[in-house]
Amino acid sequence: MNQRKYTNSVQELIRNLESVFSNQASASASYSKEALISRIDDVIFKQRGDWISSQQALTPLEELELIDELGLYLQEQKHEYVRYRIFEALFSMARETALEYRRDILSKLVSLAIVSKSSATLECAALWMKSTEKSHVVHLVLSLVTDYCVLQQNGASDLKACIDFSPRFCCIFLIALTSHYTMMSSEKCKEGGIIVDDLKDWPCLRLLDIVQHWLLKDPAICYCTATQMDKLWRTVIKATHSLPDSLSLTPLDGLASWCVKTPFAPMSLLAPVITTDECAENLTYSELHSRMHYGFLKVLLASKPALKAIAKGSVLGNPDLQLWSKQQAHALVGDLMSLCNHSDAIPLSGSADELAVDRFSQISQIAMSMRVLNCTKDQFQSLSDPLPKTRLLEIVAYGPNRRSSIDETPMEISTNY
């Protein structure tokens, strides 16, 4: 009986919110929008402003019922604006009451949406992620990584499938993911007297597999936040995109960083193998990040629609918006110099230094030719000058006719990316 009463209370509050957001509420409505929102934590999450963080408010059964009820409502609500406004009201991080608890409920709701292929919920989650502080977004993403890459043996397949019914969610997921895993902890650390790799800044094998799958299947996924900027997204993002801790518009900067830095992956990541959905053979971390780099080069080649949308001013009204800026490329050079063993020398053939610099060269060459990176030859020469010298870098920076500073042995063309 109590369970049915709780469900009815949730449904009633959602109906009232829907009425307000649909502009159907009469002047004599019992609750204003502010009053309704103030009741969310009390009625839906059973928590008041003086709630103690260690207290469990909802029973497991109530929690399951709530997640199921919200998922069903979001899927059935056909008005996109109303759907998102209710989602935003429920999970706004600007409201401190029960913040962590609501964030955990959100993680479970989105996790259910992934396995049930609920595009409506994932589209709401994507816009919420783009318009919310990065720390809350990263919390959600890491929770999903745990659910689908750690706790489930075959969970990666469910995350991979998201590209078929919510590409914008995948795009925002990539932005948050690449901003969190910085790949700057290549050194060893001691724990209990044993030397171990510091892996907190590195994506796991299954996660790398998901990323390379998305990039190879649909390179345009990285631009859908720009090319699919509808009225709702434009309205919400315009009000929040200037926040100092919000996500960027596309994952290009983060993916460029991943491609360049993955050759420096700690040894403990290199040994395990994984069988992907695309081929029956086992792939290592090195093979997966090679596939990811190849996919990212295809992403850069697919940038024309996004650049066209930006030039028209249809992306946040800013025709000068840059997909990968000189400042971001300069920051990547700085990180690369920190990771390379011999920043002032010619790297050894086949070394991580050589592969990383060559990848930076490939990315920069295509990015400049596609106008993704607005950088002149002189500017790129100055930008790349501190890096270890490889033949490919010198060709990109100075052209094929310049006499190389590297010894005149024939250059082998590698099939590795």
The predicted-structure confidence for 225-268, as pLDDT tens digits, reads as follows 999 999 999 999 888 776 778 899 999 999 999 999 999 998 88
- Number of domains the chain contains: 3
Using pLDDT thresholds of 50, 70 and 90, give the confidence band for residue 90.
very high
Which DSSP string corresponds to 373-398? S---HHHHHHHHTTSPP-HHHHHHHH
- Is there a domain that residue 138 lies in? yes
- Are residues 216 and 360 both part of a single domain? no
187/339: higher pLDDT: 339
- Is there a domain that residue 224 lies in? yes
Instruction: Print the domain residue range for 252.
Output: 117-183+197-314
d(C-alpha 352, C-alpha 350), whole Å: 7
- CA quadruple 182, 187, 188, 190: dihedral positive or negative? negative
- Is there a domain that residue 192 lies in? no
- Are residues 214 and 253 both part of a single domain? yes
Asked if the model's pLDDT at residue 397 lies above 90, the reply is yes
| Tokens 């913040």 sit on residue | 99
- Is there a domain that residue 12 lies in? yes
The pLDDT value given to residue 34: 79
Of the candidates 151, 156, 153, 185, which has an alpha carbon nearest to the alpha carbon of residue 173?
156
Q: Where are the alpha helices (DSSP H) in 164-246?
A: 167-180, 205-217, 224-227, 231-238
- The b/e string for 105-126 (b: 16+ C-beta within 10 A; e otherwise) is bbbbbbbbbbeeebbbbbbbbb
Using pLDDT thresholds of 50, 70 and 90, give the confidence band for residue 279.
low
Among the listed ranges 95-99, 149-153, 194-198, 207-211, which one has the minimum average pLDDT value? Answer: 194-198
- The b/e string for 287-312 (b: 16+ C-beta within 10 A; e otherwise) is bbbbbbbbbbbebbebbeebbebbee
Average the pLDDT over 13-40 and give the result: 75
| Tokens 């998102």 sit on residue | 84
Q: Where are the alpha helices (DSSP H) in 243-284?
A: 252-261, 267-270
Please give the single-letter amino acid code of residue 413. Answer: I
- Are residues 246 and 278 both part of a single domain? yes
- Per the CB < 8 A criterion, the answer to whether 210 and 156 are in contact is yes
* Percentage above 90 pLDDT, the chain: 62
Q: Which of 314, 336, 369 is the last residue of a domain?
A: 314
In sequence order, what are the residues at sequence separation of 6 or more whose Cβ sits closer than 8 angstroms to the Cβ of residue 272? 205, 284, 285
122/241: higher pLDDT: 122
Q: pTM (2 decimals)? A: 0.89
CB atoms within 10 A of CB 330: 14
- Are residues 286 and 205 both part of a single domain? yes
- Are residues 14 and 84 both part of a single domain? yes
- Are residues 329 and 400 both part of a single domain? yes
The predicted-structure confidence for 126-157, as pLDDT tens digits, reads as follows 999 999 999 999 999 999 999 999 998 888 99
- Are residues 149 and 271 both part of a single domain? yes
The predicted-structure confidence for 295-324, as pLDDT tens digits, reads as follows 999 999 999 999 999 999 888 778 888 999
Using pLDDT thresholds of 50, 70 and 90, give the confidence band for residue 6.
confident
Among the listed ranges 21-30, 191-200, 235-244, 266-275, which one has the minimum average pLDDT value? Answer: 191-200
Measured in whole angstroms, the distance separating CA 211 from the mean position of its chain's CA atoms is 10
Q: Which of 290, 314, 338 is the last residue of a domain?
A: 314
Average of per-residue pLDDT values in the chain: 86
